[in-house]
Amino acid sequence: MRNLLLSTVMSLCCLVTGGARLTRPIEADILGFVADPKTQDVRLFWKDDSGRLFGNLERLRAWCGPGRLIFAMNGGMFRQDHSPVGLFIQQGKKISPLDTSAGEGNFYLQPNGVFYLTADRRAGICPAKAFRDRGQVAYATQSGPMLLIDGSFHPAFREGSANVNIRNGVGILPDNRILFALSKQPLNFYAFARFFRDRGCRNALYLDGFVSRAYLPEEGWIQTDGDFGVIIGVTIRQ
């Protein structure tokens, strides 16, 4: 699992080289975007209709067509062949099963979790072991660790941790809108989770680390490179 191994290596490097405490408001270090699944199309992309991997945000933008893609970011960890690590559901079809096994790296820092969207456009995040699909889930991606669990920080997080990295994640706001975030500067898990908690999220999920990219043209943030598995995209509803 190339991405898991790289994340672990980068985390170890940060333990040696990074400081963790912020000297300015956390908002200055994080790019945030709020999506409303009731009025916008929020989807998970992996391969196009011909079976070709999207792979990066530029190819997804081109596939969506001019002006349609308003936000995108990588949506979870992946193996060397770009297949998703853990659960992946696309358009109601389970592509990869839920992974509740033990292992090393951020993905297996328990509890990990699932971000999902239902057919009736509700968004949710829950610990992986609590996830149930009774045929109502349209999209889902598994990653880890959970950042917030019912309003509490993941028990492994420490405020002064020197384990800093670029991070991206997703949280659910009280009104069921979705808060996506990408750190512009390396942050530790506690600081990143605090961003979601301070905005009212009770559950939030870490997606990935230093490889992370986001596309948000309304903020002038255009990162269209990268080499990913699953991608989260928000488009204008037709």
How confident is the model over 193-219, as pLDDT tens digits? 999 999 999 999 999 998 999 999 999
Q: What is the DSSP letter of 19?
A: -
Neighbouring CB atoms inside 10 A of 141's CB total: 29
pLDDT of residue 26: 64
Contact 78, 3 (CB under 8 A): yes
Q: 197-213 burial by CB neighbour count: b if 16+ within 10 A, else e?
A: bebebbbbbbbbbebbb
Domain regions of the chain by residue span: 2-18+30-85+148-235
Per DSSP bridges, beta strands 221-222 and 30-35 are: unpaired
Mean pLDDT of the chain: 90
Residues 41 and 130: their CA atoms lie apart, in Å, by 26
Q: What are the structure tokens assigned to 123, written together?
A: 């968004």
Q: pLDDT class for 14, splitting at 50, 70, 90? A: very low
Query: How many CB atoms within 10 Å of residue 79?
Result: 14
User: What is the pLDDT, as a whole number, of residue 177?
Assistant: 98
pTM value is: 0.88
When pLDDT is cut at 50, 70 and 90, the band that residue 3 belongs to is: very low
**Per-residue pLDDT, 198:** 96
Sign for the pseudo-dihedral over CA of 159, 164, 170, 173: positive
Report pLDDT for 28.
74
Residue 125, beta-bridge partner list: 115
Considering only the C-alpha atoms of the chain, give the largest distance between any 2 of them, rounded to a whole number of Å: 49
The residues that bridge with 64 in the sheet, in sequence order, are none
Task: For residue range 159-184, list pLDDT tens digits in order.
Answer: 999 999 999 999 999 999 999 999 99
The Cα 84–Cα 95 span in angstroms is 9
Instruction: Render pLDDT for 53-96 as a digit per residue (tens, 0 to 9).
Output: 999 999 999 999 999 999 999 999 999 999 999 999 999 999 99
- Whether pLDDT at 124 is above 50: yes
The C-alpha atoms of residue 32 and residue 155 are separated, in whole angstroms, by 24
